[in-house]
Amino acid sequence: MNARLIGLLFLIFLACNQTNQPYLEQAKYYAANKDPLGVVVACNAGLQQNNYSDSLYFYRAMGFGAIKKFENALLDWQQFVSKYPNCDTCFLAIAKTQLQLGDTLKAEKTLRTSKFNDGHFLAQSIIEQAMIAFYQKKWKQSLVLLNKSSAILPKYFLPYYYKGYYFSQFAGADEQLAIELKTYPCLNFDSALFYFEIAIDLNPNFADSYYRKGLVFENTFRNDSALQYYDLALAIDSIKPYWHQRNEVLKKIATP
């Protein structure tokens, strides 16, 4: 076979494998512009081609998740990881999708058994397990897991944010006590403020750390400090709950 024929066959091969590219690029474009429905439509079109890219499953899963088609999203994540079993993002997404579907047991199993190759994703998976434990009222287990995640990535802000959240909601109520003897008020404000401040130092652009710290100040009758932190949160992300809480504090300050 001469060089010219080899070159021609190579060009044909490239052309065949580029048929999906416009759809993949469209999906990426729609994803970047936060248009999940556009992502799904582009991926659907691309997956009808003979030489589609497996990445279309990845993007379609994200699109389905954003429009709350969780069953479809789960199928696409599973399809993608069947060919790319080292996709840390996918296993974390699978667990979160299973949680959205209300299947806590499968989500926990996914988080525990997946071999995350990257420390960031491993820490994320442990945080997810901690929050599952938290909402199951397994307070001690939740805090142990949060400490484990921060030990893996000491410079990662989320474990500290969630520890602040933990202490601003509950203070490790003893699981051995009878239910009527348990207390779940905000019992450790100082610890909450301490961890929210670490989270802010590690990631000054995460608005909810400021907002949660503001809530602690408001709940301890330090309304001027609460207002300051609500304003800091709003400077990053102007969303309705932040505005609502800020306005509530302004009413308190204005009341004689």
pLDDT tens digits, 4-36: 444 433 333 333 444 457 999 999 999 999 999
The yes-or-no verdict on residue 207 having pLDDT over 50 is: yes
Residue 194 region, left (φ>0) first, then alpha (ψ -120 to 50), else beta?
A: alpha
Asked, for residue 96, whether it belongs to a domain, the answer is: yes
Using DSSP's 3-state secondary structure scheme, residue 79 falls into helix
pLDDT for 20 equals 52
pLDDT for 169 equals 79
CATH code: domain of residue 49: 1.25.40.10
Its domain, for residue 34, covers: 18-117
Asked, for residue 77, whether it belongs to a domain, the answer is: yes
Asked, for residue 207, whether it belongs to a domain, the answer is: no
Query: What is the average pLDDT across 172-198?
Result: 65
Confidence of residue 166 (pLDDT cuts 50, 70, 90): confident
Q: Give per-residue pLDDT as tens, 90-104.
A: 999 999 999 999 999
**Residue 190, number of CB atoms within 10 A of its CB:** 10
Asked, for residue 40, whether it belongs to a domain, the answer is: yes
Is the Cβ–Cβ distance between 157 and 202 less than 8 Å? Answer: yes
The yes-or-no verdict on residue 38 having pLDDT over 50 is: yes
Q: How many residues does the chain have?
A: 256
Asked, for residue 34, whether it belongs to a domain, the answer is: yes
Q: Which residues contact 9 (CB under 8 A, 6 or more apart)?
A: none
Q: Give per-residue pLDDT as tens, 142-162.
A: 889 999 999 999 999 999 999
Asked, for residue 142, whether it belongs to a domain, the answer is: no
Number of domains comprising the chain: 1
Asked, for residue 151, whether it belongs to a domain, the answer is: no
Asked, for residue 221, whether it belongs to a domain, the answer is: no
- Choice between 168 and 126, residue whose per-residue pLDDT is larger: 126
Backbone angles phi, psi at 164, to 5 degrees: -60, -45
pLDDT for 256 equals 65
Query: What is the average pLDDT across 165-191?
Result: 60
